[in-house]
Structure formats: C-alpha cells, structure tokens
Structure 1
Amino acid sequence: MGLTFMKSIIALVCLAGSLLATLTLSAVAYAEEALCTCRYCEAAAARASFGVELGNDGPHYAPVRMVDVQHIKLDITPDFKKRTVGGTTTIRFVPLRKPLEALTLDAVQLNITGVEGSTPVTEFENSGEELTIAFKEPIPVGQESWVTIEHNCEPTGGFYFRTAEMGYPEEDTHCWTQGESHYARRWFPCFDYPNEKSTTEVICHVPSDMTVISNGRKLGESVDLEKQLKTVHWLQDKPHVNYLICVVAGYFDKLEDTAGNIPLGFYSQPSLSKHAANSFQDTASIMKFYQKEIGVAYPWNKYDQVTIWDFIAGGMENTTITTLTNNTIFSKETENIKSSRGLDAHELAHQWFGDYVTCEDWSHLWLNEGFATYYTHLYEGEKFGRDATLYGLYRDATNRVLPGGNNDKRPIVWKRYTNAGDQFDYRAYPKGSWVLHMLRSQLGEEMYRQAIQNYLKEHALTTVTTPELQAAFEETSGRTFDRFFDQWVYHARHPDVKIRYRYDPKLSLAHFTVEQTQKVDNDVMLFAFPATFALKCGDEMVYHTEEITDKKHEFYVPVPSKPEMVQFDPEYTLLANIDFDKPEELWLNQLENAERCVGRILAIEALAKKKTNKGIDAIQNALASDPFFGVRVEAAKALGKMNRDEALAALVKTPEQDDARVRLAVADAVVGFYRPESLDTILESAQQEKNPAIVEQWIDGLAKYSDDSVTSYLRASLQRESFRNQVAEAAVVAMEKSGSSQYVPDLAEQVTNHSDKYTSRGLGKVLIALAKLSDGKEEKLQSLKLIAPHLNNGRTDVQKAAITALGQLQLEEARPILQAYADATNDEELSKAASNALAELTKDKSPQPRELIELRKQMQELEKSNKSLKEKLDDLEKKLETTEKKD
C-alpha cells in the first residue's frame, strides 16, 4: 500500500504544483521507508511519471528578417552598487516586403517601462522573452521608422559587474558586456541574431573618474560636476552584427601603440597593469602581418583590447574592441611558457573574419572561428618559421580534431544543434582551420591569398554562408571544389588511411598500397585527397604525389636505389589518422632526415611505441639537440609515456634546456614516473627552479610521495610569493591529490586568512581540496563552516566551487544548505551545480537501496519543476479572474 500511495502523491503533485507544499519531511521519510523493499522495476515506474525534457535538436535556420535594422542607439547607466543597468534603446529600421503592423524584439527578463515610436504605438507586450510593439497604423515598406524603449534590469547574462562587494579589488571595479551568441537580449531589446547588421551608437553614464570604451570612434565625453557623472559617447559608423556591440566601463590603466595609422589601446586592471605590456607586445606586428597576408587593409578606425576579471571565455572579438580574460596577463618569470600571442592573434584575425564578414547563422560558425584559428598559426609561422605553423596544426589535429571526430557524425556545417553553444567546438575551430590549410596547400599560397581577398572584398560588411567561400575559391582558381567541401565541410569525420610499403630490388620500384579504412555511410564519405611521398635515395630526394579517390589504391614509384627514408605527407597537408607500419630503421632515418618538424615528431611517436633501446637513444638525442623546440617537447613527452627505466634515465641525463617550454615538458615527463629513488631529484629540482610554471609541474609530481620532506615542502610552498599565487595553488592541488587529511589544518588556514591572495579558480581549488581531505564527522563539520559562507561570494567560480565542495564533504548536514541554494538561485549554472552536489550526497550513501536513491533524485527534480508549475497556475488563475471581471 505504501508504494501505491506514494505513486498517487507523485501523480497529484505533477498535476497540481500547489500540493508540493503539503509534502512534509515526514512524508518524504515515509516514502523512503516504503521503497526500501521494492523491486528496481517499481523505481523505474516512479521515474516514468516525471517525464524527460528534450532539447530542440533542429534544424536551425537564420530567422526571416521582417525589417532592415539601420541603426541602434543605446543610452545606458550602469549602477555598480546595485549591479543593475538601465536606459533607453532606439532602433531605426525599414520594413521589408510587407507593411509592418507589429515589431517583435528579443528581450529576456527586461523591465520595459515605456515605448514610443515614429509611428504611434498602441500597446506593447513584454513576455519575458520577447517584446512585441503594436503600431496604430501599419508602417509601409521602405519607410524609415524608429522606436525608443525605456528599460532596466538586473542582468542574468550579457552584462556583468566586477566590484569590491563581489570580492574583487576595489581599484579594479568595472563592468562589461558579452553578446555572442545570444546574450545581448539580456540587457537591451534587439534583433539578437547574426543575419542582421547595422551601425551602432553608445552613450554611457558612469562615475566621473571611470573610463568607458566601446565600438568605433569616441565622439566626446563630458562631466556633470553636480552629479559627478561622466557621459561618454561612441559611434560605430560601419554596420556590424548585434552580438558584437560592446561596452566596457570602470577603472583601467592604459597603454598605447600604433600599427601604421591604426591607434592601438591596451586597457588592464590597475592591480595587474605593471605586467600588461608582456601581453600586448605582439599586437602591432600581428596587425602588420595580417594586412599583408590577407591583402585587405584593417577595416576599422581603431583597435582596443581590454582585460576583464574572470571573463567567461578567453577573448571576444567585438568590433574594434576585444575583451580578454585577465588571465592573459603574465609575469616575465614564466619566460616563454606563458604567452598572449595566440589569443592576441586569434581575436585580431576576427576583425576581418567574423566582424567585417560574418557568418549568417551558427551552422556556418567555422567561417568565423576556423579562419581566426588558422591565421593564428600563420602568424606563428611568420614569427618563428614554417615549423611553428605546422606544429600548431599538428597539436590541433592530434589533441582535438582526430580524437574528437573519430566517433562524431556531425559535420562542420550542422543545423541540428540544441543551442548555439554546441557549435563552438573542435569542428568550428581546429577542423575549420585544417580545411583552410588543405585548401591553401592544394592551391598554393598566392592563389589562396587571392581567393580570400576576393571573398572579403565581395562580401565586405555583410553576412555569409559557406557557399560564398566555396564560390570565391572556384572563381579564383577555375576549378570545382564540390567534392572537397562535401567531404570535409558537409559530411563528418576524416579519413583513416592505412599505408603499406615494400621495395622491389629487382626493378628498383617502391610499391605503395593506400587504403581508406573508415566506415563509409550517409554521414562519412570516401575521401578524395592527394597523397605525397618523399623517398630519400642516397643524396637524391624523390617526390611523388598520387590522387587517392578509391577505397584501396596501389601504385609504384621508380627510384634510383633502395630508399633510406620513406615519408608520407612531408609538408603535412592532410587531416587524417595515418597507419604507416614500416621498419624501425626507416623511422630512425626519418627522425634524422625529415625536413619538417612534424615528420620528425611522427618518427618519435613510432619509435616510442617500439620501445627499443636504439629508439630511446634516438629520441633522447632529439630531445638534446633538435633545432625546433616542438620536436624536443614531443621527445620528452614520448619518453615520459614509455614507463621504462631507460626512458627515465634518458630524461634525467638530458642537458639543461634554454627553452623553458622544453624544461617544462621534461619536468612533466619525469614526474610521470613513480620511482621512490627519484624523490630527492624532484624535490631538488623544485627548490632550484625559478620559473613558477615549471615549479608547479615539479610540485604536481610530489603528490605521489608520502614523506616528511614532501609535507614540509608543500606547506612551505603555501607561503611562497608568486604571481597570481601560482606556486601556492600548485601546492593545494598536490595536497588534494595526496589524499592525506594531514593537510586539512593548512587548507583551513588558507581559507580563513589568505583567501584574498588566490584567484577565483585558485580559491575554488582550496575549498574543494579542503572538502575532499576532511576526515571524520567533526572535521567535516568544521570544514562546512568554512566553506558554506563562500556560497555568497560574488564570484561565480568561487560559488560553484563552494557548492561542489559541500557535495564532496559527504555530510547530510550540507543537504538543507544545498537544497535551499538550489531553490533560491536564478542562475542556471549554479542551480545545476547545486543539483549535482545534492546528487553527489545521495550517490555515495551506500547503505541506502537504489530505489531510495532514485526517488530522492526524483523528489529534488519534482520540487523544482512544480515550483515552476505553481507559478504558471497562479498566473493562469489571475488571468481567469481578470477575464471574469471583464465579463
């Protein structure tokens, strides 16, 4: 009877949210007791009554434009104490195709206080998601019109504050906006999709000692001495998409430079500004290179970069003003390990690819992100040589594209995403970059450049889709690219290529078999690609390219003598999984003779798998003397993965490296081994190393060892001064990995007295480590008291970490705190984190039966869903009452 009764309660609650209030703690306890003896099928039956929310998996298309937006004018005032923003938005537009009776704008959780227009407005409706404005008379097609909307909000996204009340340095107080992909609608009403471009204008009112930066050129600023408010006026007079509108205001220190006649501004937080020059040292040379490489002058009037505390991404390419994570600022002690060059180059490339020419909808995002990724690699090549470009492509392929794409049936151009954020993955960034690299490799650099130049000039200041890019390549080259774009862009994956080679001494022929082994279906094609081989025969190099179009292809190459080196794709121009099984001697010769770094790296990988002493010696020699740092880095990684004493010995005997990136790789490889006799070496290395990034790596290796010397060193490292407290944070991570509760007092002391020294993520690591290491009920309760207050920390990263830490404590006393937080917060991320933490508490309660665990999860979800249902029922009841009164 208990189970039946509980099912009835659940059903009634699902139908009427108000009943949830009557479900007391004793009723929940009764339900748990009732399910203790039921079968798993009964739990499944209870689960079924909750239903499953399915995301919209598309297809997604750009919305039909009812008007042409010509200009957007924002007049706003941010309130740094209340963390609100209000003002007016004026949108100038022209109806398209048919007279406009009502204008619909995106507007999420905005308080709309007034609307007026050039055509009288009869009424407006604010649904919480959209603002609909009805006009007294339909506005004729082509008639320029405007609406002005008064609004305010406490933004839930799109507009962000960083203030002392939130835990940030007071001298760094600032606010900023983030539009991509659909966040502008959360602070002003707009057409929030990238298939609409307009000019924009920003008027911002802030305290008189603050700075305001926005898109375009500054028209002026003035100060109201009575109100102590500064008004700053910016205008972007070339059209750009809505998500690129940006406002940043607050306290900043500024550096200046120029790139030709383009002024460059670098704004950073006062607490970090003494290090800012490190991060922006390449901007002018990147700008110069891009204008030469792209063949189109920088299309805007200035370029600013602004760092942001706890930015939600690495950077955002707003037109003429890029916002960047302040983590991009680094100290010189890290030598060349830390660099902003890649981020700087990526975001600057967007000023052409993404801002000047913009993808029309998110399925074509690679036209923004693929270009920015590839041109970052091209700049590396400009600065450090061809190998630097290829090494970047190699890392993208091996770390992201090939692993990510092996079992992924989504193509680059994909319309069935759940939300726009799904498109921001390896397909748009590194795979998109690789598509461009393959096009450049097949066409040659000059013809590729001409095609890109034609593409940008033809589509300047407009939105585009992939066919426009394909057309530019075809019109420039005079050849079709249907198959290329079909297999690489509109279908999924990449080829798996199996290559077999043998030499015929009688006929002096090299015999090759090239086979594609990937599964071919409706999602993955049989690929067509050029396969190039380089054969070293004495002093002569023989190159041969074969067009592969079939599943299996055999061919012969005449050679003057037996090849000493047989290398596939010597210029690294094909994105593919390559299985080339050949004798060790050929790999040794490739390591010694391959011209490009990737050929030598691939040889290192193959030799490491064979694990012979001869191979280890060759890899160690490459680590010691190869001219390109990336080969030395990969040599260190390969030795580290072998887990042989000979490999460890090869690492240890390697001469001291001048390049810090290689020293870091060596440290990472050495600490990957567990050898008790290595402890003294690791400790000594950590104590002698001055570069904090490398010290961090040595410290990470100490987590494996239980020794008084390690304990003392880690505790001392908590007190060691370093930029952003990097060394102390490394010690915290090592303490957590050790699993030892002896560090709980040390971590508690960090939370109590030194929280302000850590970054948001660093403090989060301290909280989680404290929770994980706390042992015993009393110690856990003490830790709970230290962790729980950080639920109210103004920094999202700290809040999420505190939530996670409470779940990790495995204390039932944490449940009501987490439940109350989950119920109270309007932040989706924090609510999800609280739900996960509650599930963590539930999951590890081993004495409880599975059925009880499932019911508890269901009750948590039920409470949330019925809170929403009750609100909807209340709203319906009010509407019915209003209707009855009218009748």
Structure 2
Amino acid sequence: MNIRFSFPFLLGIVLLGACSVGRSTVPSANEQPLPVIEKKDSGDVRHLVAGKEAAIKNYRATPDRTFDLLHTSLDLSFDRERELVHGEAGLVLRPYFYPQSKLTLDAQDFDLHRVSLGDSHQELDFSYDSQQLEILLPHTYTAEDTLTIHIRYTAHPTRNGGNGSEAITDTQGLYFIHPIGEETKPVQLWTQGETDHNSKWFPTIDAPNERATHDLKLTVEDRFVTVSNGELVAQEQLRNGFRTDHWVMRQPSAPYLVAFAVGEFVRVEDKWKGIPLGFYVEKPFAEGAKRVFGKTAEMMGFYSGLLGVDYPWQKYDQVVVRDFVSGAMENTTVSIFMEELNMNAREAIDSEYDGIIAHELFHHWFGDYVTTESWSNLPLNEAFANYGEYLWYEHKEGRDAADLQHIGELETYLWEADEKQVDLIRFEYEHNEDMFDSHSYAKGGRVLHMLRDYLGDDAFFAGLNNYLTKHAYRAVEVHDLRLALEEVCGKDLNWFFNQWFLASGHPVLEIDFDYSDPENVVLKVSQQQDLENTPLYVLPFEVSWYAGGERFTREFVLREKHGQFELSNTIPITQAYFDERKVLLAEKHTVRSDDQLKAQFTDSKFGVARYEALDSLRNRNLASFDVEKLVRAGLEDSFWPIREVALNSFGDSISSFGMEDVLLELANEDKNNSVRASAITALAAIDEGDYIDQYLLWMEDSSYYVSGAALDAYLQMEAEGIEREAVARTFQEEQSIRMIIPLIDFFTAQGIPGKGPWMHQVYENTFGQDLYYLIGYYGDYFTKMPEEGSERAIEKLYHTGMHHSASYVRFAAFQSLFGFIDEENVLEKVKAIYGRETNEDIKNQEMYFLSPYEDEN
C-alpha cells in the first residue's frame, strides 16, 4: 500500500495544540506524566554517525559492468634480467547495457606505447594514472556494437609489489625466479592473478564477475617448457634460440584465472575419460609426481559423479613451481602448486598433499565454473574447496579420517576467532586479500557440512547440481546458492544463511546431562555467546547413547538461550553424547568424569569421538591399570590416529607394561607409516640395546618416515659395539629432511668435525617447509663449531632472512642468526631483516627478539 501524508490533518493537530495555550499546566488526576526522554550525549551521536558513515564508505560493492569483455589475445615476451613483460594485447568488448564513449581498463605499472582501435588500428587518446587506463572512444557505442582495442605496452610487475596477506604473500602478479644466491634454484616464470593482480602483466577488466575466452602467445628460450590455460595449439621455432608457444582457452573464465608457468619442466601424463591430465615438475621429481598427483583421475571421477556434473574443462594440468606466494592456485585447467609438492619417488610414498590437490580440483566446479561475483562472496569459492577436501577424505579414507581433518579446521577457525569475528559474506574490508582467512576457508567448510547434515545427502548434492547447472560459466552471490538449494529441497533456508553466512561469531554452549532418572535423562543446553555481536542460534542437534552395543539417537532443535530436552529413553542409560559426530561449529563446554571419557573411548562407533576421549584422558591422573588398558586398546584401534596418540601420548608409561612385542609388531606391520615410525620411537625409548639389528633393517625401509625414525633411534643409542659415525656417513647422500635432521643432530651433539661443506650443500639443496625445519639445526652446528664455516652459514641465513618468499622461513633464519649475535655485523644483519620484513605478525615477533639490543648501533 502507498502511504500519502495529509497536510490539512497536520494543520489541525497544530491548531489543537495552539488552543491549549491558556490551560493550566497542572495535570488532572487521570493524566499520566509524559515520559522523560534522555538526550543522547553529542559524543555518542557523533560516534554512531561516524560508524554508519564508515560503513557506507567502506562498502565493497560488486564491480559495475560497463563493458562485457568477450575475448583477450596476448602476445608476450620477457626481459628476465630487468624483470619486464613486453606485450601486445587485443581486447574484444561490447557495452554491457548503457551506451559508452570511453573504456576503463585495469593496467598496473605499465609503460603504454600505443592504444588503437580495430583492424584500422586508429590511434586512440587515453589517460593513465599507473593503475587504470581510460581510453576515449571515437564515438558512442551501444550494447549492439562490438569493438576491438589493441594495446602495445611494457609491464613492470615487480614495481610496487608486496602488500600481500597471509594467504597470498605478494601482489606482483607475475614472478621471475632467479638462482641468484641460491645456485641450485632453477630459472622460472609463473603467475598468480588472484585477486586483482593479473592486471600487473596484461590490461583487462580485473574483476571476478567478468568472464571471457582468451589466447596467449609466449615467446621463451627454447630450453623452457610452457604451460597455460586451455590447449597448446602451435609452437613456432624462432632463429635466435627462442620459441613461441600459442595457448588457446575456448571456454570463458574470470580474468584472475588466466595463468602460465615457464621453466625446465618435464610432463608426466595421465587421462580421465579422454581428458588429458599433465603433472609438470622439475626432472628429478618426475617419478615422484606419478605418486603425488596419481589420484587426480580418481578425484575427478569421484567429484563428477557426486555433483552430477562432469569435469567441465578440456584438460587439467598441475605444475609445481619455486617460491610460490600461496599454497596453490586453481587457475582454470592449470593449477599451480608450491614447491613442497616436488618429491622424489621415495618421498612421495608418504605424501600428505591429497588435500591441497583435491582443494584446487574442486575449485574447477566451485570458483572456475561458477565464480563468486565479488570478493565479499569469496566463501562461495573457498568454503566449497575446503569442503571438497573433506569429501575426498570421506570417500577415500573413511568418515573418521574426514571428521578428524574437520576438527583441525574447527580449531583453525576458533584460533582466528579469538582475534576477530566477522561475517562469512562481508562487505567491509580494507584489502581484497583480507577475505582469505580462516573464516572463508575453515569456518565456511564447516558451515557447508552442517548444511549437508541438516538437508541430508540426497537433497544437498541435488541442490549443488542445481546450483552448478543453473549458473554454469556465470558469477554468483550467496543467495544464488540458497535459492538453488531451496528449489530442490522445498525448505526455507533463510534462517540458516542469515545466522551462518550473514552474521559473525559462533555458538558457545554449556551442556549438562541430568542422569538422576536413568529412564528419562534430561539435557540442558545454554547459549553463552555475546548476543550483542552474535546471533542467538537456531541449532538442530543430535543426542546419542549406547545400550547393548547398539546406538540410539534423538534429534532436537535449540531455539532459545536456555533449552531443556528430555530424551524419553525407555532403556536406562548412564552416558549420553551431545553432537557425538562433531557436526556443529561451536565451542562446547561440558564436564565429563574419567569414567565417562573411558566409556566414550570404549563405546563410540566414531573414531573422532574415541580420539577426543583418549586425547583428553592423557591429561588425567589415571591409575596405572587404567592407563595400560587404554594404551592396549588404543594400539589395537582401527583408526590409525588413535594408535598414534596411544604411542605418542603414553610413551613414558609403556616401558612398565612389558609391551615391547606389541611395539615391534606395530613397527613391522602397521599399515600406516606414521604409526610405524612412532612405534620405533617408543621402542627406542625403552630399548637397552636389544633391537640394534632391527634399527639397521628399518633404515632401509622404503618409507622415509620409518627409516628416519630408525636412524634417529640408532644414532641416539649408547650401547657398546655400535658404529654410529660410520653408519651416519652412509646416509649423507640422502636428501630427505627426515634423514638429514637426525644426522645433523648427531654431528652437533658429538661435535664431529669436517661436516661444514656437507652442511652447506644440504642447505643449498633444501627448499620449502623442509628448509624451515632445517634452519635451526644448521645454525646450531655452526654455533657449536664455528671453525667449520660459520661465516658462510651466517651469509646463507642472512640471504634467506632477507629474500625467502615464505615469512615463516624468513623468521626461522632471523632466529637462527641470534646464535651468532656476538659475531661482527650480525646484529646489523638481523636489524636489516627486521627492516625489510613485510608480515606484521612476524615483524612483531622479530621486535621481541631485538628489544634487548635496541640501544646498540
């Protein structure tokens, strides 16, 4: 209804008020005094207004679409020494809806040589502010017109780089990898476009709601291999030792997903349903790549069947590069991965990277095929990719393994939530990269898991099929997901999306069971979260209990701050479980006795609940009999992480239980190599020299987990007649960090001279996370034995602290240098590392180390 204001009526009110001027102001007995309205303090009002104005100012809108980018052609060559890109770009566009007489493109830090129009190459006037290129068109174009813009340019991707985030540590878009100061590092070029960094090397409309096809010509030295989106359609040999490769991407994708990598790669091949799969790695890691990426085809088949949408692209390549600024990136048809996935065949036996491989592949449905329309809606990409990891683990390793992985995600989110709590879908942030946090990833994945549990598998996956099918090759926002699910399941989901996607925080629950009437147990649940900033949640949940080995359940919904629920059980029970399957994203506080935890460990059919119970019991003051019973049960559990917890958490007690035979059996026969390694370590802690021959045998095991644990155990033995130094020498050619660290630890502890050159060589050949683990041991050796080459060690640590791409590795080098702090110029070096550091969290930690020296020059 349309409401109209009547001015004569308002005038009547005013006149009636005027007639009362002569009346007494003393109220009659029936009159009530008017309420006193407190005037707000002007400071409070200003603060309120400032907050609302800031919200308007900081609102991150979905980018306006003035033009529709249809196709981009790029012809690129590179000046590696000066780190320049020489490019010619052709952009085919049309006005999106409104007529347009100018075109604005993103082009960061370019030298622009010529801008022209169409086949005639009519030169166009333009203005440029180093970030955006504004082109004046010769006349006004309508949505019925198509135009082609040609741009010849030189890009400076390294200019004004930095300003990255924890998830994406740099913003220069294209990276030149040189072996300067690191002789074993290969020459490479690669790109990282997310969020809006591809416009550092080619002009485009750098927004996630844009979508276009493209083709890319790369002129490189003939020794290099190139890999990019789409299909390699031609290679032209040039006279000067160079070659031009032509890649064509025929399906449209967002500009941030355009990518390439250049290097001396080898390609390992596989297929799924005729779709070619390629794994690009450095030559020494070719055999390892078959195992590291070997499940890709199986993953592709699993996801295609689960979603009812076959992998929607023409091929899929995966390439491992050095110094990558993130863990991995899902560029359409060509995912790029960090160097940790470079593994030889033996290292790859224990590869733990299925999760990241699954994550990037699942993005090819959620992120590439259907793409967030704005970074505010990033969880539509990242929450799904995070949950894709869960789905793969559930399929391949079982529900217990997937649930335990998801407990880690919950802990990751809760750790971040101690510092900040923001909406999953949020429209206020300072930088695009701020969205790449544990809310978008870990919390988002957990929220999707709750949604699946609420809807049921059939409805959830049918809804995802509807979402993908309806929005194929399109940009989406969060309500597109809700509506697609509602259309399938027939349920209203506004309440779920409002509290989980469009609000911040999480439930904090106090849980109490009253067992005074065993045939009608009463559950009380209270929501204790801060209700000023967090919703009062509607929480569907499950209560379960066991009787005679059978599991019983009741489902309830908490709709208030304090809820009371009767189980109405007919069989007397003494132990019930709230959310035994660990579905809810919540902090849960409850008091459980030792006996209740032991019952949970004994009775629960869910590995994650048994794991929780055993992990909690290790901190309880239990009788020796109970500990032995728990350990024996834990070592026989079907879920391998429980066997590992039993070994690692109760190792000090195992020696009194006479369990050497059990440990020996686990070390030899367990199906999980991590458990075997833990069994060897536990055995070594109680061994008095009886298993020396076993250690020597285990050192030759195909698994580095096992051989490294055996080598470490052997080198720490003090028994007579063993040749520790001689055995150590036989393993100095090994390149696995699991073998190297026991060797360095032994050489340092024993003060064995002559190992300096070997140490330096190891340092030069180690990269990624392995370098982080190595640095402390490397520094300790030269601190203890400076005559072995401490000056060279200092320079290597300094170079790492100044230039390594990973902040945690830089910090490890910074810390290690303090072992040499009294040496000449070392204090200046650590101060230089501090001055160069861009990660604020790392910088604060470095300041703590430097504070005792702040007065020294």
What TM-score does the superposition give when structure 1 sets the normalisation length? Answer: 0.77
Following the alignment from structure 1 to structure 2, what is the Cα–Cα distance between the partners of residues 439 and 138? Answer: 49
* Residue 311 (structure 1) aligned to one of 320, 324, 345: 324
| Aligned mates of 1:612, 1:840 — CA distance in 2 | 40
CA contact (8 A) 1:741 1:775 kept: no
Which AA in structure 1 matches 2:111?
N
- 689-698 or 191-200, larger mean C-alpha shift: 689-698
Decide whether the 8 Å contact of 1:438 with 1:574 is kept in 2.
Answer: yes
Deviations 1:469-515 (A, max 9, x none): 1111222111111221122222223222222223345x822222222
Structure 1, unmatched stretches of 5+, are 1-53, 857-887
Mapping of 1:402-421 within 5 angstroms? 402-406=414-418, 408-421=420-433
- Spell out the pairing of 1:489-638 with structure 2 (5 A cutoff): 489-505=501-517, 508-522=519-533, 524-538=534-548, 541-563=551-573, 565-613=575-623, 615-638=626-649
Question: Among 234, 238, 243, which residue is 2:247 paired with?
Answer: 234
Contact residue 163 and residue 173 of structure 1 kept, 8 A:
yes
Bigger fraction of residues in helix: 1
SS at match of 1:327: helix
Range with bigger deviation, 584-593 or 310-319? 584-593
| Match 2:799 to one of 790, 808, 812 | 790
Partner of 1:470: 482
Question: What is residue 217 of structure 2 aligned with on the other side?
Answer: 203
The SS at the match of 1:425 is coil
Asked whether 1:258 is paired with 2:260, we answer no
**Are the equivalent residues in 1 in contact too, given 2:801–2:814 (CA < 8 A)?**
no
Q: Is the 8 A contact 2:837 2:843 kept in 1?
A: no
1:863 aligned residue: none
Q: Secondary structure at the match of 2:515?
A: strand
Name the SS of the counterpart of 2:116 in structure 1: strand
C-alpha offsets along residues 192-219 of structure 1, whole Å, 9 cap, x if unaligned?
2212111111111122343222111222
1:736-779 CA distance string (max 9 Å, x none): 9x9x8968x77754465554332266556666656577669998
Deviation at 1:173, TM superposition (A): 3.9
Alignment of 1:692-731 (within 5 A): 692-693=704-705, 716=728, 720-729=732-741
SS of aligned partner of 1:558: coil
Q: Would you say the 8 A contact 2:704–2:736 is kept in 1?
A: no
Give the Cα–Cα distance (whole angstroms) in 2 for the partners of residues 409 and 834 of structure 1: 22
The 1-side partners of 2:262 and 2:148 are apart by: 27
- Show CA shifts across 1:512-552 (max 9, x none): 22222223222x11221122122223355432111111122
Distance 1:377 1:761, change over 3 A: closer
After superposition, residues 258-277 of structure 1 pair within 5 angstroms as: 258-277=271-290
* 8 Å contact kept, 1:198–1:239: yes
1:67 aligns to what? 67
For the pair 1:759 / 2:767, whether they are aligned, the reply is yes
Q: What SS is found at the alignment partner of 1:254?
A: strand
Cα distance change of structure 1 residues 368 and 697 upon mapping to structure 2, 3 Å threshold:
farther
Q: Distance in 1 between matches of 2:416 and 2:388?
A: 22
Matched, 1:349 2:374: no
Which secondary structure does the structure 1 equivalent of 2:283 belong to? coil
Native 8 Å contact 1:102 1:133 kept in 2: yes
The residue that corresponds to 2:201 in the other structure is 187
Partners of 1:776 and 1:539 in 2: how far apart? Answer: 59
Task: Please tell me whether residue 124 in structure 1 is matched to residue 109 in structure 2.
Answer: no
Give the equivalent residue in structure 2 for 1:367.
380
Name the amino acid aligned to 2:100: L
Is 2:298 the partner of 1:288? Answer: no
Structure 1 residue matching 2:453: 3-state secondary structure: helix
Change (3 A) 1:710 1:79: farther
Correspondence for 1:144: 146
> Closer, same or farther in 2 for the Cα pair 1:819/1:503, shift >3 Å?
closer
Aligned-residue offset at 1:731: 5.1
SS of match in other structure, 1:353: coil
1:433-455 deviations in Å (ceiling 9; x for gaps): 11111111111111111100111
Q: Relative to 1, partners in 2 of residues 1:804 and 1:504: Cα closer, same or farther, differing over 3 Å?
A: closer
Q: Does 1:278 align with 2:296?
A: no
- 1:385 is aligned to 398
The 1:632/1:207 distance shift into structure 2, 3 A limit, reads same
In structure 2, the residue corresponding to 1:205 is in which secondary structure? Answer: strand
Identity between Structure 1 and Structure 2 (%): 25
- How far residue 136 of structure 1 moved from its aligned partner, in angstroms, is 4.3
Amino acid at match of 1:214: S
Structure 2 counterpart of 1:509, which letter? N
Aligned to 2:95: 95
Q: For 2:848 and 2:719, locate their aligned partners in 1 and report how far apart those are by CA, in whole Å.
A: 32
CA change 1:835–1:176 in 2 (3 A) is same
TM-score normalised to structure 2 length: 0.80
Superposition pairs for residues 637-716 of structure 1, below 5 Å? 637-639=648-650, 654=663, 655-656=665-666, 657-665=670-678, 688-689=698-699, 690=701, 691-693=703-705, 716=728
**Aligned to 2:853, which of 845, 854, 858?**
845
Partner secondary structure for residue 521 of structure 2: strand
CA distance in 2, matches of 1:271, 1:703: 29
Distance 1:645 1:630 in 2: 18
Distance, in Å, in 1 between the alignment partners of 2:656 and 2:585 is 30
Determine helix, strand or coil for the equivalent of 1:161. Answer: strand
Structure 1 residue 444 and structure 2 residue 446: aligned? no
Select the residue among 227, 234, 251 that pairs with 1:220.
234
* Aligned mates of 2:714, 2:429 — CA distance in 1: 43
SS in 2 for 1:134: strand
Q: Which deviates further from its counterpart, 439-448 or 791-800?
A: 791-800
- CA gap of 1:701–1:422, structure 2 versus 1, over 3 A, is farther
Does the CA contact (< 8 Å) of 1:303 and 1:321 recur in 2? yes
Is the Cα–Cα contact under 8 Å of residues 737 and 774 in structure 2 kept in the other structure?
no
Partner of 1:177: 191
SS of match in other structure, 2:70: strand
1:174 CA drift (Å): 3.1
Distance 2:798 2:721 in 1: 34
- Checking the alignment, whether the CA contact within 8 Å between 1:213 and 1:247 is kept in structure 2 is yes
Write the distance in 2 (CA, Å) between the matches of 1:406 and 1:800: 23
Partner amino acid, structure 1, of 2:373:
E
SS in 1 for 2:313: coil
**Counterpart-to-counterpart distance in 2, 1:532 and 1:152:** 61
Give the C-alpha shift of residue 274 in structure 1: 2.4
How far residue 246 of structure 1 moved from its aligned partner, in angstroms, is 0.9
RCO higher in structure (CA 8 A, sep ≥6): 1
Q: Which runs of 5+ in 2 are unaligned?
A: 1-53, 159-171
RMSD: 4.2
| Displacement of 1:814 | 4.1
Partner of 1:395: 408
8 Å CA contact 2:265–2:282 kept in 1: the answer is yes
Q: Distance in 2 between matches of 1:209 and 1:282?
A: 30
